[in-house]
Structures are given as structure tokens and as C-alpha cells.
Chains A and B, each alone.
Chain A
């Protein structure tokens, strides 16, 4: 099964840590942009006629910021042009400050059945500092509207002066609000974002403090019934995101819009992140790829492992042997001698022990 990703690069304003493709000043181009998206979908649908899809993810930017007609239109195009399974998972990212009853019922009518709320922090002063456009109250009323729905909330770890108490408040708000899924991310200050200078100034917690906070968060979420199934993702039983699991199983997906990445037929390709360039390409009848890479041989295996080892489920021995022709343990006999102690190899699976998930890069690179 495969996924479809749609990127909506519009926002009311830019958060201080954001280095994703989002353009607060370009909202006037929404009409044109979505027309291009539809055109790109049509072209890809012709290219990958035989593929079946099981999930749709509408991310951003802030998809809930643009008029709901665009979202409804995009989903209609997808259903029309692609072979979508009977019960697809369709997710949309929502900024709590932008959700209305009208929008929500339009999304639901279009088939959206999973929602992702960007809370980040339950502290209004922190939200302001991050230049978020919403308040805690906005979140609570959005969650109220979503009562009974399958929804996720995002929480950030590693914010200014963040304490365990602060994090506990954010996570308890999320749990109390009825979310079925939590994405808890450690903030990564990226060069070129406003928060990067705070990082350089030493205003953000250091590696150890972030690790302590994160450990605390994992325990807290566990106590509230959220199991960690990937480094940063936690869910109530049965509520894991199918769309994201597909990434970690090295599944195929098609990405539409600026900066969107795709993986199909062992080729990975990514669109330009410049909105005008994207529009120009699509309008002139071209794809807007700026990079494309064929994945072959050992690299397939490296990708497979780097992704699978992010998850709690880890590597399935049976699947590994089927894909790569040789048993996992025999392939990595030498590596396991040094890395084995950080792993749990049992029940036909190899996984990184939970306490080492946060230092997994050093382990994973030995397998690459």
C-alpha cells in the first residue's frame, strides 16, 4: 500500500523555528497553486497508473488556513485520479487558531478522518514567543469540535526554559482533550530560522536537558496510555498513523506541491521549494523535480534499516530475508558484536531497545 502527500505552503505567519516550505505573503497565489496541484496529480496519475493508495496526508504550511474549498477539491481530485482503497486514512494538519465548524464539516464530508492539531505548547507566553498564531484556548475549542474523532496533537520539547512541569502541562492538556495520538518532537534549531540565534546564544536547553525532558515525556505519555511506536510518535492502541508507518516501512508515496518528496519504483525525487518556480514548471507542462535519485543495491538495504530501526516494531527477520536474500543476523554478525547490546533481538524481530532510541544514529550508521 502507498501514500499520497499534498503540501499546502501557506501560513498566516511563520513560526520562529520553522524551516519548512511555507510562505505567509503568498496566500494570494492559492487559487493558482491548487490548479497546479491538480495538474501535477493528473500527470503523475498517468505515470503511475497501476499503483494503489491507502493513505492521504495534507500537510504544510497550514492547510487549515486556506479556504476549505481547496482542500475539498484536492481530495476530490485524488479520489478521481488515483486508485484509493475502500477505507483510506485521510489526514489534515490543522492550526488550532484556524479551525471553524464550517471547515470541519467540509473536511469530514470530503472524507478526512484523521486530524493533526499543532499545539506545540500549552503555555500561551511560549506560543507567543514561538510566533504561533493560536492560544491554549484555541486548542481546547478545536479539540472540543473534534470530540470523538481520531486526532493527533503535536508537542515540542526543548523550548526556552522548558521544565518537566511545563511539558507535563502540555502533554496532560493533550491527553485530557481526547487525542488518540501524540507527536512529541525535540526542537531542532535550523540555520536560517530566527530561533537559531537563540540557540547560538545558549538560550535553549542543551542536549542533556532535552534528553531528560524527553525521557520524562515518554514516561508521562506511557502513563496516559500512549505507546511509543516510533522515535517521536505515540498512540493509543490501534491509532498509529498509517501514513507515517508507510514511510518507515520504506513504502512508496507520491508527493504533490512545493518541496514534496516522492518514492516510487526505487526512485526518490523532490520538488522545488520555490513556489513561483513550481507554478512555472507545472504550467509549462513539466514536473517540478529538483532532485531525483535511483536507489539500488546496498542502499535499498541501508534505507530499509535506517527507517525500520526508528520504529518500535524494528526489523522483521522474515521480511528482511525475503527482501535481501540473507538472514538479518548472518548479514550483520560483526556489527551485532558491538551494537547487539543496544538491541533487543527476539520474537523474529530486531529492534533498538527503547532506552537507546534517542541515540539511534550512532547505532544505525553501523548497519549502513
Chain B
């Protein structure tokens, strides 16, 4: 039972980690808590669904997985659409506010408003019922120790690791990554070094939008797509970002995994119905005991 809970926790944690990176990038570079971020996961998930619906399914299932090869194309569509939506939301909402010198609180409320708009646009188009990329039920693989995992979940774990490697390379080995890190560190100094902060901000939206779309699609693949999925994930995502330490990407990943593990292991001591409160308790404990997070500076 415990082994099963640990595995489930890591698999849930992987998706939370991807989303938490987007949050932590926003906190570090955009310098406000973007409560609309989780909606980018919904947008990404549903954008990929639109592609799947337009194609008429994902194609014949690949091996043990529940979906066909077209899902890769759908994912690409989701990434592009979400990155565009993220940039557009900056251009339409956040950049005008930044130019007027709006404080972080104004930006937070604006992000709330944006979240509501995005969620209800999705709701309007797709309705309230849950959606799936593929209605195929795949059979779980029985691992030693009576642990059951779905092939899709293992793939999600692999994709998460790949995405993290790609992100690490992007931030550390490209000029764009250098610019983002520089702006996060010290914006005036970055500007003095001929780095355009607006450019770095735009790239932050693109990268975090793409990560959100990836997380949303993977969540939709292993759980289901619902218009309120992003809103429901908001608390775990912020907890992971805060726990890891604001601005720390390894922190966000470890925070995400810890939140996933804690949520799943909590059923050993708490009734299942209280599972959703676990992230909140972690966040509270983190604020009280170590406000800067595990890896915060």
C-alpha cells in the first residue's frame, strides 16, 4: 500500500512540478504571484483537445499506451497556442499595468480576473462535462510490491524529466536564458548590460506558457480535462513553488514532488476526503517555519 502511494505521489508530483516551475519563474522574473497561471494549463489541455477532436481522435493506440501518435501533434498545437495566449495576456493585461507602475497587488488582482475570463471561455466552448483525449481504458502494469501503474503515467514521468533537462539547457546555455536569469537577479543591472527586460519578460511568458500547456496536457492524459482543472491545481502549484523557494527551479521540482507525495501519503492518517487540504497545511507550515522555502535565497 505504501509503495503504491509513493509511486502515485511521485506521478502526481511530476505534473505539479512542471506547473510550479511556471509559477516560480513568474514570481522571480515578472515579480508577482500569477493566479492566472493555472488557467494556462487548462488552455493548453483544451487546445490539444481541439486538435484531437479536429483530427477525429489520436490515431490507433501505440503499444501499451491509451493514445495514438497524433497526440504529439496535438501537444505541439497546445504548446504554441498556450504560449501565444500567455504572451497575449501580457500584452493586453499586464504590460499596460506595468507601464503605469502598478504594484504587485494590482497585478495579482488582474491575474485573478484573467483567470476567470480564461476559465469561462473554456467552459463556454467545451461545456462542464469531463473530456478525454482517448476513451480507451488502458490496463495498469503490475510492478513488484503489488504496485500498479499505467503506462501513460510512466511516459508522463519520462516527459517531465526530458522537459526539465530542456529547461535547464535553455536557461544555462542560451542567450535568452541568460537574459531571463539576469532580469530575475537585478533588472536595472541587466538593463545596464544591454539586456531588454521586456524581451526577457516575453520569453518568460512563452516558456512558462509552454510548460503550463505541457502540464495541462499530461494531466488531461492521466486524469481528465475539466474547465476547472487549473483552478483546482492552483493551491498545490503555489505550495510547491513556495515550498521550493521562490525563483528556484530545482526547488519547484522538489516542492512539486513533495506536495504530490504528501497528498497521497496523507490517506494513511487522514480520511481520503481531507486529501485536498494537505497542500494548504504544507503551505501554512512553510510560511511559519521557513518562509523563504527549502531552496530560497
- Decide whether A and B are members of one complex: no
